Amino acid sequence: MPPVPPLRGSFRTDLRARAAYSEGAGVYRVVPAAVALPADEADLVTLLKWAVGAAGEQSAVGSRHAVVSPQPLVLRGAGSAMGGGNVGDGIVVDLTAMAERTLTLNAVARTVVTSAGVTLGEIEQAAAAVGLRLPPDPASARWATAGGAFSTNAAGPRTLRYGSMRRWATGATVIIAEGEILTMRRGDRPGKARAVTRFESDVAPVIRAEASRIRDRFPRTRKNSSGYALDAWLESGDLLDLFIGAEGTLGIVTEVTWRLDPIPAFRSALQVEIASLDRIAETILALTATGPSVCELLDRSFLDVVRSGTAGPKVVVPDAEAVLLIEYEEETAGALEAAVARGASAALAAGARAVRPRTAEAEAAIWALRHAASPILARLPETQRSVQVVEDGCVPVRCLAEYLHLLRDAAAARDLPIVLFGHAGDGHVHANLLPDTTRAGWTDAVASLLEEVSAGVIALGGTPAGEHGDGRLRAGLMERLYGPEITGLFRQVKECFDPLGILNPGVILPAVPEASPLAHLKVGAGAAPIPDDIALALRTIEREGGYARSRLSLADDSLTTHD
């Protein structure tokens, strides 16, 4: 490794610091070579120039670094992304430590400008004070950063009505690998940076020439956060759309401008119980035609987990093959009542049972069912871990029953417990495998299930990454999903903005040579050794959703105290 970069922030190479950043929310444990905590945007530019081997200041007397080999940078926010894009064997760059924290809200224009490290929860709190919100609502909003949400094109239950982050991001400031700063705004050309000129002259014409192929090969799903969004760029012409969902592989996001929306005045829920999967697509399509903002799926496997645990007296578990939780949002009480009535009628016409809560307590009980499995899964014994390798598949809604059967059957054939839930209105399923990690051959079983389900979701016209991004986990699927020609376009985009391939290598596009998607698991006999107290602290963060906690504090605590 070259000499330590001259940062005002921290740069750590000790084992404890590296171990603290070896895991994120996904399945991986990879101990990095070093950890950098830049203090500000100038530090990031310095780090990038150092990483590519450019000459830089080493001391006050003006001595220079020797030219060195490029150093890969692994960009990271809260570490809550599921696909493994927040871990790697390069230098982890913790962007949450930057001192510059901007949250400038304009209630009249309904916009907010935030630095990348501001959390979605902070945006929600500030916007709510003036009756506004950023509609996409990932479950990780309490700790997920604006930069991370932008970089994965994050979504959530309300995506059904309001779309993903792409619809709400109107601008961004990004530092690309050559150290140049791009300021992008919808409808505007982002300056005269060399990479922008290269893109416009060399890459953009090739993408336009392949427009027909792109339309044919991109998934026909309501959500997709896989690959680079060539389809969105073709529609808008805005470079911003290539950076949204790029997972930090094209540049480092430092600031995002978001469009906000008024908070609806009235909302209500509807619980729909389905007796057979054969009619689930018909039921969902009938319900979504009535205009709900949310249509959540609780599969029988989810209901069984809640039934087997101690979820609390307010949680009533229906005897159903699946449950859909519907939410309507309207501006008047009359409009809300009419919408809920339309939903109930649509459910009944599709052969489902509709339950309308008439009190606040009854409505709270409906949503308590949605959250009842989480504490039960968090209390699993150490020998049974949630392994989320097919956790983000999204298919056309008409194919949802077939996809649910595929997941159930693939798990049953390998004796792997599975829990299924997700965003039914988008055809999007979160699958949690719960293997016994002491059982011989469990990793082989998971690997073969991953292969079968990945092939199945692509065959159904779906995407393996509905809202979590590809990360390292799904990078090897790009050519199967998009074909060699479009994957080649992805490589041209990557090389245009990151010619040396130093930004999150192996994310979206596979590393060369390509590793097994299940290499470097955080569980099992093959997990990389790290200090016991740090391993326990990382497990606590995973169990309790403590992703807001500074990982460096884990390294610096002599005896880790758990949240």
> Is the pLDDT reported for residue 2 higher than 70?
no
**Rounded CA separation 321/231 (Å):** 36
> Is the pLDDT reported for residue 310 higher than 80?
no
DSSP result, 346-395:
HHHHTT-EEE---SHHHHHHHHHHHHSHHHHHHT--TTB--B-SSTT-B-
Q: How far is CA 255 from CA 10, 118, 160, 187, 330, in A?
A: 21, 9, 26, 18, 32
Report which of 290, 287, 199, 302 is spatially closest to residue 243, judged by C-alpha positions. 199
* Coil vs helix vs strand at 276: coil
Give the CATH fold of the 384-468 domain. Answer: Alpha-Beta Plaits (3.30.70)
In words, the CATH class of domain 10-95+521-556 is alpha beta
Q: Provide the pLDDT for residue 563.
A: 39
pLDDT in tens, 143-152: 999 999 999 9
pLDDT in tens, 410-449: 999 999 999 999 999 999 999 999 999 999 999 999 999 9
Can you name the residues that pair with 323 across neighbouring β-strands?
A: 273, 298
> Is the pLDDT reported for residue 532 higher than 80?
yes
The structural architecture, per CATH, of the domain 103-262 is: 2-Layer Sandwich (3.30)
Band of pLDDT at residue 312, cut at 50, 70 and 90: low
Q: Are 21 and 87 in contact (CB under 8 A)?
A: yes
pTM of structure: 0.93
Amino acid at 22: S
Query: Which DSSP symbol is given to 290?
Result: T
State the pairing for strand pair 34-37/91-94: parallel
Report which of 196, 86, 199, 207 is spatially closest to residue 148, judged by C-alpha positions. 86
Q: Are 518 and 245 in contact (CB under 8 A)?
A: no
**Rounded CA separation 38/183 (Å):** 20
**Rounded CA separation 149/132 (Å):** 18
CA dihedral 8, 91, 505, 21 (to 10 degrees): -110
Amino acid at 415: D
Helices (H), 153-299: 159-162, 194-198, 204-209, 211-217, 230-236, 240-243, 280-288
**Rounded CA separation 385/442 (Å):** 11
Look up residue 219 and give its two tokens.
């998934």
Q: Are 426 and 221 in contact (CB under 8 A)?
A: yes
Question: For 187-206, what is the mean pLDDT?
Answer: 90
| Residue-range domain boundaries for the chain | 10-95+521-556, 103-262, 266-378, 384-468
Q: Provide the pLDDT for residue 560.
A: 42
Domain 384-468 in the same topology as domain 103-262: no
Q: Provide the pLDDT for residue 68.
A: 54
Between CA 137 and CA 264, with CA 283 as vertex, the angle to 5 degrees is 35
Question: Percentage of residues in the chain with pLDDT exceeding 90?
Answer: 81
State the first-to-last Cα distance of the chain, in angstroms, to the nearest integer: 35
State the pairing for strand pair 132-133/261-262: antiparallel
Query: Which DSSP symbol is given to 398?
Result: G
* Coil vs helix vs strand at 499: coil
CB atoms within 10 A of CB 152: 30
Band of pLDDT at residue 382, cut at 50, 70 and 90: confident
CB atoms within 10 A of CB 203: 18
CA dihedral sign, ordered 350, 352, 358, 361: negative
Q: Are 50 and 260 in contact (CB under 8 A)?
A: no
Between CA 291 and CA 294, with CA 293 as vertex, the angle to 5 degrees is 115
Q: Provide the pLDDT for residue 372.
A: 85
Amino acid at 529: P
Question: For 186-203, what is the mean pLDDT?
Answer: 89
pLDDT in tens, 71-112: 999 999 999 999 999 999 999 999 998 878 899 999 999 999
**Rounded CA separation 534/548 (Å):** 16
**Beta strands, E only, 107-152:** 111-115, 132-133
Helix H, strand E, coil C: the string for 448-475 is: HHHHHHHHHHHHCCCECCCCCCCCCCCH
Compute the residue count for the chain. Answer: 563
pLDDT in tens, 335-377: 999 999 999 999 999 999 999 998 888 898 889 898 888 878 8
Report which of 93, 104, 124, 85 is spatially closest to residue 12, judged by C-alpha positions. 93
> Is the pLDDT reported for residue 562 higher than 70?
no
**Rounded CA separation 36/88 (Å):** 13
> Is the pLDDT reported for residue 61 higher than 50?
no
State phi, psi for 542 to the nearest 5 degrees: -65, -45
**Rounded CA separation 383/113 (Å):** 45
Could you tell me what percentage of the chain is helix, strand and coil, using 3-state DSSP and rounding each to the nearest 5? Answer: 40, 20, 45
Q: Provide the pLDDT for residue 26.
A: 93
pLDDT in tens, 275-298: 999 999 999 999 999 999 999 999
State the pairing for strand pair 252-259/322-330: unpaired
* Coil vs helix vs strand at 115: strand
pLDDT in tens, 218-273: 999 999 999 999 999 999 999 999 999 999 999 999 999 999 999 999 999 999 99
Kindly indicate whether the domain formed by 266-378 is annotated with CATH number 3.40.1280.10.
no
Q: Provide the pLDDT for residue 64.
A: 42
Order of all β-strands in the sheet with 169-175: 103-106, 111-115, 252-259, 169-175, 181-185
Tell me which residue has tokens 């992008």: 184
Report which of 426, 396, 285 is spatially closest to residue 347, judged by C-alpha positions. 285
